[in-house]
Amino acid sequence: MSLIEIQNFIGGEFRPAHSRKVLENTDPSTGLVYSTLPRSDAADIDVAVESARKAFPVWSKTSPEERSRFLHAIADGIDRQQATLAAAESRDQGKPLWLTESLDIPRASTNFRLFANQILFTPVESNEFSNKAINLVLRKPIGVAGLISPWNLPLYLLSWKIAPAIAAGNTVVCKPSEITPFTASLLCSIIKEAGLPPGVVNMVYGLGAEAGEALVKHPQVPLISFTGGTATGQRLNAVAAPLLKKVSLELGGKNANLIFADADFEEAVKTTLRSSFLNQGEICLCGSRIFVEKSIYPRFLARFIEETKKLKVGDPTLKDHFLGALASAAHLQKVKSYVELAEQDGGRIETGKEEIKLDPKHQGGYFMRPTIITGLPPQSRVMQEEIFGPVVTVTPFESEEEALALANDVPYGLSASLWTQDIKRVHRIGQDLQVGTLWVNSWMIRDLRAPFGGMKKSGIGREGGLHSLEFFTEATNLCIKY
Ligand code: NAD
């Protein structure tokens, strides 16, 4: 079978890396290579940035209405290609097809529609000063934005950056994850069909240390929006700092679920199952540390294990499989190494070691059963470091103070879920929990206007609605004397 050849998209044209080098791309559910992507380097980034720079003067002066029409046209294209994109995303990342159909691809089109609408109705900030002058805040596009995205929600997160960046009048050079380039390449065809002027969106594939870092270093790229791991974010911030770039960092998490005895038990079990294992636990918002009030701990643990054992793992195209494959062989190995570490540290593997029955086609895939660990000390590496797979710990707590201290006692601060019926407790914990998002009696309800981002090592900045548009623009205060 011939391999699909993914190409860079620069100045509206598809082309290989100038070096002609390629990387291989694997289907995680079979372990077989099915496509290649350009192994681009600084020379390709230079050409892409030049193309984006050329497009900027005209694009940045188009009216919001015109830009809005283009964004809607791209969203229409995504909707028309929904089935193709959903199949491609599932194949490239290993996640279940039902999930790409219901979450990843619809969200990608919603991302474009949200900003297509938002730029038409964004209020202009103004302040009157002491009967003397009026201040008008002009928000201006900045130039070429560098957009770097991860592999866990490939099109969902890439479009979450492209849409606000171009809606605000910037042009972009994107560097999607080398592990999941497929839907980014299909998006380029949709963008071309939508008639977006050449150079407004450029896509360059390759390794982070080569293509990604060249983009961050490029002197003509004044802003970088990055989503990925914390170590990469730290590196990228160090590279960008001397160049005084505007940087947004959406990084890792080690999120807590706090389940109090007064919670709706059934709802807490059901949602915790999803927040633990949806997308194989490969969502930055997954709750991987589950803390349960002591009085309900035995009952919760028993039900949680029972329900987890029922989750089916395997062929991502089958509807009854809740988990597909992990994204890569290296990632599967990393996740499994944490389970071994948990055992060495005295943890008990409550479930996760059972064999997975796979059909012959999927024998070489990167599958793993959802795994529950108990009995670990909160300071153990498994409870402190981001694993980013279907592995959770369950730990009892005695008081609200203890629950709060346990939840905050990690280097991360992305999100948490709180399960309680006590509204005063909701306010207390809401004030003191160090997270960017706290879901109360829920998980992953995403209003795209809400500020989204992390505290501590989970990132710098906020994305979402006006927060994204603010990042992708620079303010000029026009002070006019009467
Ligand atoms: P990663 O950091 O390995 O890679 C992310 C992107 O950065 C890739 O495109 C990669 O090629 C690029 N990159 C790597 N090194 C680079 C460098 N030196 N300079 C420039 N670019 C470089 O992350 P990943 O493994 O793809 O994704 C998983 C991580 O992403 C997890 O930690 C997860 O929590 C995080 N994540 C965070 C959010 C959020 O919104 N906070 C969302 C999704 C994923």
Q: Output the six-digit token pair for 447.
A: 């209003």
Which atom of ligand 1 is nearest to 231's Cα? 2
* Total Cβ atoms within 10 A of residue 282: 25
- C-alpha distances out from residue 291 to 113, 135, 268, 365, 406, Å: 38, 50, 12, 32, 8
User: CATH for 256-447, among 3.40.50.1820, 3.30.930.10, 3.40.309.10, 3.10.530.10?
Assistant: 3.40.309.10
HSE (side-chain half, CA atoms, 13 Å) at 170: 33
Does the C-beta of 282 come closer than 6 Å to ligand 1? no
Whether ligand 1 lies within 6 angstroms of the CB of 23 is answered as: no
The catalytic residue among 101, 188, 210, 284 is 284
pLDDT 10s digit of each residue in the chain, 482 long?
799 999 999 999 999 999 999 999 999 999 999 999 999 999 999 999 999 999 999 999 999 999 999 999 999 999 999 999 999 999 999 999 999 999 999 999 999 999 999 999 999 999 999 999 999 999 999 999 999 999 999 999 999 999 999 999 999 999 999 999 999 999 999 999 999 999 999 999 999 999 999 999 999 999 999 999 999 999 999 999 999 999 999 999 999 999 999 999 999 999 999 999 999 999 999 999 999 999 999 999 999 999 999 999 999 999 999 999 999 999 999 999 999 999 999 999 999 999 999 999 999 999 999 999 999 999 999 999 999 999 999 999 999 999 999 999 999 999 999 999 999 999 999 999 999 999 999 999 999 999 999 999 999 999 999 999 999 999 999 999 99
* d(C-alpha 309, C-alpha 349), whole Å: 13
Is 286 one of the annotated active-site residues of the chain?
no
250 is catalytic: yes
Looking from the CA of residue 150, the nearest atom of ligand 1 is 26
pLDDT at site 313: 98
**How far, in Å, is the centroid of ligand 1 from the Cα of 230?**
8
Q: Is 325 in the pocket of ligand 1 (CB under 6 A)?
A: no
280, 151 Cβ separation under 8 angstroms: no
Check if 281 has its Cβ closer than 6 Å to any atom of ligand 1.
no
pLDDT at 259: 99
For residue 457, give both structure tokens: 């090592």
Candidates 195, 197, 164, 199; CA nearest to 77 is 195
* Number of residues that this document lists for the chain: 482
CA–CA distance, 12 with 71 (Å, rounded to integer): 16
How many Å apart are CA 116 and CA 70, to the nearest integer? 8
Closest CA relative to residue 457, chosen from 408, 394, 395? 408
Check pocket membership of 105 for ligand 1, CB cut-off 6 A.
no
Two domains, one topology: 4-251+458-481 and 256-447: no
Q: Distance, CA 141 to ligand 1 centroid (Å)?
A: 25
Residue ranges of domains in the chain: 4-251+458-481, 256-447
Spot the catalytic one: 178, 210, 250, 463. Answer: 250
454 CB under 6 A from ligand 1? yes
C-beta of 89 in contact with ligand 1 (< 6 A): no
Determine the residue of 153, 227, 234, 278 to mutate for testing ligand 1's pocket, defined as the one with the most ligand atoms within 8 A of the Cβ atom. 227
Distance from the alpha carbon of residue 240 to the mean position of ligand 1, in angstroms: 16
252 lines ligand 1 (CB under 6 A): yes
* Ligand 1 center from residue 331 Cα (angstroms): 13
For residue 435 and ligand 1, the question of a CB distance below 6 A is answered with: no
- Ligand 1 geometric centre to CA of 26 (Å): 18
The CB of 228 under 6 Å from ligand 1? The reply is yes
Alpha carbon of 288 to ligand 1 centroid (Å): 19
In whole angstroms, give the CA distance from residue 127 to residue 122.
16
What's phi and psi for 300, nearest 5 deg?
Answer: -65, -50
Query: Which residue minimizes the CA distance to atom 37 of ligand 1?
Result: 251
Query: Which atom of ligand 1 has the smallest separation from the CA of 179?
Result: 26
| CB 208 less than 6 A from any atom of ligand 1 | yes
Residue 405 host element (H or E): helix 400-408
pLDDT, position 1: 73
- CA-nearest residue for atom 36, ligand 1, is 228
Q: How far is the CA of 264 from the centre of ligand 1 (A)?
A: 35
Is 152 strand, coil or helix?
coil
What pLDDT does 378 receive?
97
C-beta of 330 in contact with ligand 1 (< 6 A):
no
Superfamily of domain 4-251+458-481: Aldehyde Dehydrogenase; Chain A, domain 1 (3.40.605.10)
Name the closest-CA residue to atom 42, ligand 1. 284
Q: What is the best residue among 160, 177, 283, 471 to mutate for testing ligand 1's pocket, by most ligand atoms within 8 Å of CB?
A: 177
> How many angstroms does the Cα of residue 477 sit away from the middle of ligand 1?
35
